[in-house]
Amino acid sequence: MKKLLLSLTICCAAYTAQAQDLIKNIPANSSAVVTIKGSNVTDLFSIKEFENSKIGQEMVKELARESDGDLTSLNDLGIDFNASAYYFLQAEKGVFSNYFAIPLRSKNGFDNLIKKNNSSTEKIKTDGDITYMQDNYDGITVAWNDRMLVVVISEDTNEDDDYNYYSYDDVTEIEEAVEVAVDAAEDAVEAVEVEEAEEVIEIVEVEIEDVEETVIESTEDATYSNDDYYKKREERYKRERQEREAKRIAKTQKAKVRNLQKAKAFINGDHSSNNILRNKSYVASLGKQNFEAHAWAGDFMNLYQELVLDQMYGNALGMYNVEQLYNGSTVSSTLDFTKTSAVLNIDYTMSDIMAKHAKAMYDGKMNKDFFKYFNEDKMLGYMSVNASTEGLLTEYPKLMKSMFANSANNEMATMIPLGADVLSIFLDEEAIGELVRGDMLFVVNDIAKKQITYTTYDYDEDYNRIPIEKTKEETVPDFIFMATSNGESIFNKLMNIAVKENEMTVDNGIYKFNTPRSVPVNVYAMHANGVLFFATSKEQLLAIRNGNFNGGVSSEHKKNISKNTSAVYVDGKSIISQVPVEELPRDFRKKINFITSNTEDMLITTSKLKGNKSSSKVVLNTPEEGHKNGLVYFINFIDAFLD
Amino acid sequence: MLKKLFTYTLLFCSLLLCTSCFEILEEINLNKDGTGRITVTANLSKSKSKLASVMLLDSVNGYKVPSKDDINLAIKNAIDHLGKTEGISNIEKSVDFDNYIFSISCDFKSVENVNSIFKELITKQNKREKTNFNTTNFSYNNANHQFKRHFRYDGSVKKTFNSLKQEDKKVFNDASYTTIYRFKSLVKSVSNSASKISPNKKAVFLRVAAMSLISGEKTVENTIQLINN
């Protein structure tokens, strides 16, 4: 019995907790939903802590000013910071509705704020327990009760745009008037030219400009004032302006009615029986809900069709097979702050056909030898791409074919697939894949100091100028680029052509680009051990070729590079520590202390396709010391820069 | 892709770290009869790393970056303009994209001819922006052997400078404007106390920091009295 009672209590508590969450008021057919998970955010950083930060203090100060001192803390606003706030987009029959929904503990705080900021309280209306106000220009509606506040902004794309100032007739008339004026000006110019024929050419040219201006002005005056044309046109403009204004008012009125109805439906929970939690794609994207923020966009095709359906862009839909390529595509993303990081996850689920092409294009295999050719201790960052050149060259024409094969545009439907076939015939995908396989790695080793010469002047006793060369120290990047390649002979042939054309010089099998003297780094190229190298350090290339380069990379970076389609790593801490402070912009120097002691590293990865899903991840590691967690780090960062 | 990577890596480093500055030189060798030769040089060599990086881009900080062709065309236009100016001859140019040093020089029959090179441009500027710049930059009085470098400060310079973004203002931090006038006669006196007379008394040197010129603290204005010998 006890167990039953306990279960019932838990069920009720769970139900109540869910009932309070505004998610149940969001309709199932929403196209996009963004969530700020209040409880997770306040767990990391309480409202009190936020109010003590500089940015929080500024907000509270502003709040007190706006409410004439009635509201002295963020809690006075009545917002339930422990519950989730939402944005969602609904697209129905060409009507796009944007909702911003905020949970409230009570409406008193918000009532006060609104009343203080609206001298005319006529704008504020009530209907049952719902209070609302609407903008007279575009019908934006803000409605609230004791539990929630919702802002609705909608647009009906089926309605005409009534804001074009000139009609087609006007443009034609203006063009005609200009032509008449120009003709008259040309006649006058000819007359002037005859009269002034004796004058020097330059003088005539100057006068022509003046005469042209005068004649155009006087012709315009004559056209407008000779008859009642100008008057009639003005009347027509006035009439059209009034018509436009009437249309606009009617449109706003419609928007007001629509927005209010939508706001009420949301607050009253009209969609609770068919809410977004019934949308499988949305629910799947939620995962364990450890996030602080979450965003989801549903089926792209639905949104696209709503946007282009019956619109002037309708033809674009038939231009290529959008549906086939993007059908069922969704994007979802989460932002999660941990104790030592901020993590942004983005998942893109693509259509079957798109996934098939993408899989072949990114079916790369990272060359493990790359890890022997750079040293993590001296590494400031890297960027890797793990694609398949052969796959790209084979699949891209196929993608083009499938995009345009059933195009409504006959020319495109014929020419593009034909072009794709021709391209495939001419390209030897396998041979090109031999030259550059598709796996590449770019590593910034160091930011090194280099002596740069520049020309300035000295002067002898008689102040005759003598050009002299001086040197100064500049900071230049030291990098290496590697790509797997089996085309050593093609590489050597290409390099030899470049040497003959004086674009490069060669020394001991290492080619040097003849970069302009003004470029502060030298770039060398080499083909060795089945790898194509470009690097700024000749010594590094020589050591690699001679097999005595001491490379060393941790398993973590090896994994990042080889297991993902692409990876970008930036060791912010090392970069900042190498930046010579005296060379930084003066304003920036003040902030450098905070950055130097508070910057860690960042990693951006895009995973290989799993099923139809591609996952990207941005991880910004944050220092533990001085920052309770990743979110606090950002608040502290903003505070440091607010001074 | 490699070019892009290289460009952006270099650009990131150079925009953040490389210093930028330039010097402008105005040199006149004046003969006793008032004829002479003027050379104007823009030396951006100290900023060449940054310029080389910036020129790989189409625009930076919202400003269009001129290509080599654009610069060559501007120099050609300047030379064409000089060629049409009365009393100007023997025009020479020097373009060095390795060091970013550009100079134009020409002979003149009188310094009035030099004034007329920019007269139209300055008049237009004054009319358009309601500024008050001199249209006469140089004068030479053969009778009393006096050479003058005219310069009238206009507050609009400072105003325009203040409207620039902080990053763009930095370009002027180490920039300078140098005038060197060489004469066949001996120099008796100079009005600008910042200028120096050479030991042989036949040349006058003045270097003004661009920032002082912009703020109006210093001037290139100078009256040079020559001895009739």
pLDDT tens digits, B147-200: 999 988 888 888 888 887 776 777 787 889 999 999 999 999 999 999 999 999
**pLDDT recorded at residue A20:** 59
Instruction: Identify whether the C-beta of residue A146 lies closer than 8 Å to the C-beta of residue A104.
Output: yes
Residue type for position A417: P
C-alpha span between A322 and A301 (Å, rounded): 8
The reply to whether A150 falls in a domain is yes
Binning pLDDT at 50, 70 and 90, where does residue A462 land? confident
Q: Is the CB of A579 inside 8 Å of chain B's CB atoms? A: yes
Maximum mean pLDDT: which of A120-129, A321-330, B146-155? B146-155
Alpha helices by DSSP H, chain B: 2-17, 48-54, 68-84, 111-129, 155-162, 166-169, 210-215
> Would you place residue B4 in the very low, low, confident or very high pLDDT band (cuts 50, 70, 90)?
low
Contact state of A475 with B27 under an 8 Å Cβ cutoff: no
**Phi, psi dihedrals of residue A141, rounded to the nearest 5°:** -120, 130
Query: What is the token pair recorded at B215?
Result: 């703020």
**Residue A519 C-alpha, separation from nearest chain B C-alpha, in angstroms:** 6
| Structural element, H or E, at residue A640 | helix A630-642
Query: Which CA distances in Å does A594 have to A275, A623, B62?
Result: 46, 12, 29
Buried b (16+ CB within 10 A) or exposed e, A91-104: beebbbbebebbbb
Taking the Cβ of residue B139 and every Cβ of chain A, the question of whether any pair is shorter than 8 Å is answered with: no
> What's the CA gap between A104 and A525, in Å, rounded?
64
Across the range A473-481, mean pLDDT stands at 84
pLDDT score, position A235: 87
Of B5, B46, B166, the CB nearest to A442: B5
Q: How far apart are alpha carbons A127 and A190 in whole angstroms?
A: 75
The residue-averaged pLDDT of B72-97 equals: 90
CA B103: distance to chain centroid? 10
Tokens encoding B90:
């023997």
Q: Round to whole Å and give the CA distance between B218 and A13.
A: 79
* Matching residue, tokens 């928007």: A255
**β pairing state of B23-30 and B176-183:** parallel
Beta-carbon neighbour count of residue B13 at 10 Å?
A: 24
A627 part of a folded domain: no
Q: Provide the token pair at A88.
A: 């969602």
The answer to whether residues A72 and A64 touch, using CB atoms and an 8 Å cutoff, is: yes
| Lowest model confidence (mean pLDDT) among A120-124, A308-312, A358-362 | A308-312
Distance CA B132, CA B50 (A): 34
As a whole number, the mean pLDDT across chain A is 79
Q: Which amino acid is at A491?
A: F
- Give phi and psi for B224, each to the nearest 5: -110, 115
Residue with tokens 């364990």, as numbered in its chain: A288
Nearest Cα residue in chain B from A536 = B6
Distance (Å, whole) CA A400 – CA A421:
10
- Chain B residues whose CB is inside 8 A of the A440 CB are 1
Q: Which of B114, B186, B111, B119 is nearest to B141 (CA)?
A: B111
Is residue A276 situated within a structural domain?
yes
Q: With H, G, I as helix, E, B as strand and everything else as coil, classify residue B225.
A: strand
Of the residues B3, B26, B49, B179, the best mutation for testing chain A's interface (the one with the most A CB atoms within 10 Å of its CB) is: B49
How far apart CA B196 and CA B180 sit, in angstroms, is 10
Buried b (16+ CB within 10 A) or exposed e, A595-610: beebbbbbbbbbbbbe
Threshold 0.80, pTM exceeds: no
Task: Report the alpha-carbon distance of residue A553 to residue A571 in Å, rounded.
Answer: 14
Q: At what angle do helices A54-66 and A630-642 cross, to 10 degrees?
A: 70
- Split at pLDDT 50, 70, 90, the class of A194 is very low
| DSSP string for residues in B34-59 | S-EEEEEEEE-GGGHHHHHHHTTSSE
Looking at the predicted structure, is the pLDDT value of residue A138 above 90? no
A24: pLDDT strictly greater than 80: yes
Q: What are the residues whose beta carbons fall under 8 Å from the beta carbon of B92, sequence distance 6 or more? A: B104, B105, B106
Residue A362 lies in a domain: no
Contact B180 A518 (CB under 8 A): no
A618 inside domain: no
Higher pLDDT, A526 or A169: A526
Length of chain B: 229
Q: Is residue A270 part of a domain?
A: yes
Name the residue with higher pLDDT: A408 or A341.
Answer: A341
Domain assignment of residue A141, yes or no: yes
Q: Are A536 and B5 in contact (CB under 8 A)?
A: no
B25 CB neighbours in chain A (<8 A) are 457, 465
Q: Assess A479–B contact: CB distance below 8 Å, yes or no.
A: yes
Q: Which residue has the tokens 């520049």?
A: A454
CA–CA min distance A543, chain B (Å): 22
Is residue B63 classed as helix, strand or coil in its secondary structure? strand
Q: Is residue A335 part of a domain?
A: no
A575 at B interface, C-beta within 8 A? no
A553 in reach of chain B (CB within 8 A): no
pLDDT digits (tens, 9 = 90+) for A531-567: 999 999 899 999 999 999 988 899 999 999 999 999 9
Of B1, B17, B170, the CB nearest to A579: B17
Q: Is the pLDDT of residue A177 over 50?
A: no
| pLDDT given at position A481 | 93
Residues 6+ apart with CB under 8 A from A275: A23, A24, A25, A26, A27, A28
**Helices marked H in B130-196:** 155-162, 166-169
Contacts of B163 (CB under 8 A, 6+ apart): none
Element (H, E) at A312: none
Tell me: pLDDT of A599 over 70. yes
Residue A462 contacts residue A449 (beta carbons within 8 Å): no
Residues of B in Cβ contact (< 8 Å) with A576? none
* CA-based nearest residue in chain B for residue A523: B6
In which band, very low, low, confident or very high, does the pLDDT at A436 lie, cut at 50, 70 and 90? confident
Burial of A266 (0-12, 13-18, 19+ CB in 10 A): buried
Which of A147-161, A206-220, A222-236 shows the lowest per-residue confidence on average (mean pLDDT)?
A: A206-220
Higher pLDDT pick, A272 / A223: A272
**How long is chain A?**
643
For residue A607, give both structure tokens: 């995973």
State how far the Cα of B226 lies from the Cα of B148, in Å rounded to an integer.
11
CB < 8 Å to A476, chain B: 10, 13-14, 49
Strands A141-144 and A148-156: antiparallel
The pLDDT-based confidence of A503 (bands split at 50, 70, 90) is confident
Q: Which two tokens stand for residue A396?
A: 């891209």
| pLDDT given for residue A140 in this prediction | 92
For residue A272, what are the domain limits?
2-161+250-319
Among A463, A481, A516, the residue with its CB nearest the CB of B5 is A481
Q: Is A580 on the interface with B (CB under 8 A)?
A: yes
* Higher pLDDT among residues A287 and A87, named by residue: A87
**Does residue A202 have a pLDDT over 50?**
no
Highest mean pLDDT, choosing among A109-118, A428-437, B69-78: B69-78
State residue A115's pLDDT score. Answer: 76
CA distance A521 to chain B (A): 9
Cβ distance A456 to B13 less than 8 Å, yes or no, reads no
Does residue B176 sit in helix, strand or coil? Answer: strand
CA of B133, closest CA in chain A: separation in Å?
23
The number of distinct structural domains making up chain A is 1
Q: Shortest CA distance to A285 belongs to which of A619, A618, A615?
A: A615
Q: How far apart are CA B206 and CA B150, in angstroms?
A: 14
CA distance to partner chain B, nearest, from residue A437 (Å): 15
Q: Cα separation of A596 and A578, whole Å?
A: 10
Q: Count chain A–chain B contacts defined by CB atoms under 8 A.
A: 108
pLDDT of residue A393: 83
Pairwise pLDDT comparison (B135 vs A349), residue with the higher score: A349
| Interaxial angle between packed helices A352-361 and A389-404, expressed in degrees from 0 to 180 and rounded to the nearest 10 | 150
Selecting from A383, A518, A583 the residue whose C-beta is nearest the C-beta of B48 gives A518
Query: Cβ contact (<8 Å) for B49 and A447?
Result: no
- Please report the pLDDT score of residue A175 as a whole number: 47
d(CA B147, CA A627): 68
Taking only residues 59 to 118 of chain B, the set having a beta carbon closer than 8 angstroms to any beta carbon of chain A reads 97-101
Show the DSSP H helices in A523-612 as ranges.
538-545, 555-563, 572-578, 586-598
Nearest to A481 by CA among A385, A358, A401, A414: A385
Determine whether the interchain pair B198/A477 forms a contact, defined as Cβ–Cβ distance below 8 Å. no
Both structure tokens of A404: 């345009």
**Shortest CA gap B132–chain A (Å):** 23
The pLDDT assigned to A586 comes to 57
Q: How far apart are CA A46 and CA A379, in angstroms?
A: 38
**How close B130 comes to chain A (CA, Å)?**
20
Flag whether pLDDT at A255 surpasses 70: yes
Distance (Å) of CA A272 to CA A22, A439, A614, B93: 10, 50, 32, 79
Which residues, at least 6 apart from A420, have a Cβ–Cβ distance to it below 8 Å?
A397, A398, A400, A401
Q: At A183, is the pLDDT very low, low, confident or very high (cuts 50, 70, 90)? A: low
B14 touches chain A (CB under 8 A): yes
To the nearest whole angstrom, how far is the Cα of A510 from the nearest Cα of chain B? 18
**A456 and B45 in contact by Cβ < 8 A?**
yes
B-contacting residues in A 354-393 (Cβ below 8 Å): 383
Average confidence (pLDDT) over B107-113: 93
Q: From CA B145, how far away is CA B226, in angstroms rounded?
A: 5
Residue A435 has pLDDT above 60, yes or no: yes
A199 pLDDT higher than 60: no
Which of the residue ranges A94-98, A514-518, B35-39, B92-96 would you say has the lowest mean pLDDT? A514-518
